[in-house]
């Protein structure tokens, strides 16, 4: 098996939910969602094989955007919504 590199399996990259800006918090949300998937399916070839499929299917893209939105609820709350 052509395994995803170790760094792509870290569940919370950076080890914290706290980020300086909303932009970085949003990026973290995307990364966490991606790394969830890497942990369930760590075979890089399978992952790459699926990409042409989901990334061109509107319903799959919508589903991914929903996961990001849910992750971001957590990250944003952790950062008190970067209010100050």
| Site residues (vs its own copies, CB under 8 A) | 10-12, 15-18, 21-23, 25-27, 30, 32-33, 36-37, 39-41, 46, 49-51, 53-74, 76-78, 81-83
Pure H helices in 1-84: 22-40, 44-54, 58-78
Handedness of CA 71, 30, 60, 4 (dihedral sign): negative
State whether residue 3 is helix, strand or coil. Answer: strand
Closest approach of its own copies to the CB of residue 49, in Å: 8
Task: Quote the DSSP letter at residue 18.
Answer: -
Closest approach of its own copies to the CB of residue 1, in Å: 12
Closest approach of its own copies to the CB of residue 12, in Å: 4
């Amino acid at each position: 098996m052509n395994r995803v590199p170790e760094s792509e399996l870290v569940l919370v990259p950076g080890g914290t939910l706290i980020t300086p800006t909303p932009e970085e918090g949003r990026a973290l949300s995307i990364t966490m969602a991606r790394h969830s998937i890497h942990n369930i399916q760590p075979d890089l070839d399978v992952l790459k094989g699926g990409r042409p499929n989901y990334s061109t299917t509107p319903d799959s893209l919508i589903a991914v955007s929903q996961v990001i939105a849910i992750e971001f609820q957590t990250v944003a709350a952790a950062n008190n919504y970067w209010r100050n």
